[in-house]
Amino acid sequence: MAGMTKSAMLAALAEKTGMSKKDVGGFMDALVAMAFHEVKKSGVFVLPGIGKLVKVARAARMGRNPATGASIQIPAKTVVKFRVAKAAKEAVL
């Protein structure tokens, strides 16, 4: 099952909005840059009806090397997670 490519998405949005592909591409790039900046600054970026990007601190933990079976310490780090909105879940399911 193949997903929609970026160029296909830009073409579809350009057709629906009446904007040019170049303008839609600029809008999408600006939206992505704004999302990254906002998550880095405040820890959350919300796309109403779709979901939100959330910055989460992951604690240090013990892991296992699959090749040798030895226990290893995995350090703490910060990751970004996407939480799907209830409206999106209900629309898809």
Share of the chain above pLDDT 70, in %: 99
pTM for this model (two decimals): 0.77
Do residues 31 and 10 touch, judged by C-beta distance below 8 A?
no
Which of these ranges, 1-5, 11-15, 23-27, 72-76, has the smallest mean pLDDT?
Answer: 1-5
Domain locations along the chain:
1-42, 43-93
CATH code at 43-93: 4.10.520.10
In the prediction, which pLDDT does 1 show?
59
Those residues whose C-beta lies under 8 Å from the C-beta of residue 21, and which sit 6 or more positions away, are: 10, 11, 14
**Confidence at 82, pLDDT banded by 50, 70, 90:** very high
Query: Strand, helix or coil at 77?
Result: strand
- pLDDT, tens digit, for every residue of 21-38? 999 999 999 999 999 999
